[in-house]
Amino acid sequence: MPELPEVETVKRGLDRVTLNCPIEGGDVLLPRTVAHPFSVADFLSSLSGVKILQWHRRGKYLLAELVTEGQKHFLTEKSTLPQSSNTIPAGWLGVHLRMTGQLLWLHRDEPLQKHTRVRLFFAESRELRFVDQRTFGQMWWVPPTSLPEDVISGLKKLGPDPFSAEFSIDYFAKQLQNSRRPIKTALLDQELVAGLGNIYADEVLFLSKVHPTTLCSELKRDGIERLHDAIVRVLQTAIEAGGTTFSNFLNVQGINGNYGGVAWVYKRAGEPCRLCGTSLERIKLAGRSSHFCPQCQK
For 107, residues 6+ apart whose C-beta sits below 8 A from its C-beta are 125, 126, 127
HSE at residue 275, side-chain half, CA atoms within 13 A, is 13
Residue 298 lies in a domain: no
Residue 169: what are its φ and ψ, rounded to 5°? Answer: -65, -40
pLDDT of residue 185: 97
* pLDDT tens digits along 66-107: 999 875 444 555 566 554 467 899 999 999 999 999 999 999
* Same-domain pairing of 285 and 181: yes
Q: What is the CATH number of the domain that holds 259?
A: 1.10.8.50
**Whether residue 148 is found in the same domain as residue 176:** no
Catalytic annotation, pick one of 2, 5, 160, 182: 2
Total domains, the chain: 2
Q: How far is CA 263 from CA 5, 21, 119, 210, 219, in A?
A: 14, 37, 34, 17, 24
Catalytic residue flag (residue 3)? yes
- Identify whether the C-beta of residue 177 lies closer than 8 Å to the C-beta of residue 183: no
In-domain check, residue 164? no
- pLDDT of 289 above 60: yes
Residue 121 has pLDDT above 80, yes or no: yes
The catalytic residue among 11, 60, 129, 268 is 60
The DSSP H or E segment spanning 61 is: strand 61-69
Binning pLDDT at 50, 70 and 90, where does residue 258 land? low
Residues 153 and 12 grouped into a single domain: yes
Instruction: Report yes or no on 163 lying in a domain.
Output: no
CB 65 within 8 A of CB 80: yes
Same domain, 36 and 142: yes
Indicate whether 283 and 182 sit together in one domain. Answer: yes
Whether 257 maps to a domain, the answer reads yes
Given a contact cutoff of 8 angstroms between Cβ atoms, the answer to whether 260 and 291 are in contact is: no
Residue 282 known to be catalytic: no
Same-domain pairing of 235 and 280: yes
For 185-242, what is each residue's pLDDT tens digit? Answer: 999 999 999 999 999 999 999 999 999 999 999 999 999 999 999 999 999 999 988 8
In a domain, 162, yes or no: no
Domain final residue, candidates 157, 187, 221 = 157
User: Is 90 within a domain?
Assistant: yes
The rounded radius of gyration (Å) of the Cα atoms in the chain is 21
Same domain, 212 and 105: no
Amino acid at 20: N
Which residues constitute the domain of residue 146? Answer: 4-157
Does residue 101 fall inside a structural domain?
A: yes
Mean pLDDT of the chain: 92
In a domain, 60, yes or no: yes
Was 134 annotated as part of a binding site?
yes
| Alpha-carbon gap, residue 9 to 113, rounded angstroms | 21
Q: Tell me whether residue 2 is one of the annotated catalytic residues.
A: yes
Q: Quote the CA–CA distance of 165 and 102 in Å, as a whole number.
A: 30
Is 265:297 a contact under the CB 8 Å cutoff?
no
Tell me the one-letter amino acid at 63. L
Same domain, 15 and 138: yes
CATH code of 150's domain: 3.20.190.10
- Indicate which residue of 72, 267, 274, 288 is catalytic: 288
Mean pLDDT across the stretch 247-269?
Answer: 72
140 and 198 housed in the same domain: no
Instruction: Decide if 298 is catalytic.
Output: no
Distance CA 175, CA 186 (A): 9
Identify the burial level of 67 via C-beta atoms within 10 angstroms of its C-beta, where 0-12 means exposed, 13-18 middle and 19 or more buried: buried
Residues 17 and 149 grouped into a single domain: yes
Q: Is the pLDDT of residue 245 over 60?
A: no
Q: Among 134, 157, 180, which residue terminates a domain?
A: 157
Distance CA 155, CA 227 (A): 24
Choose one of 157, 186, 206: the last residue of a domain: 157
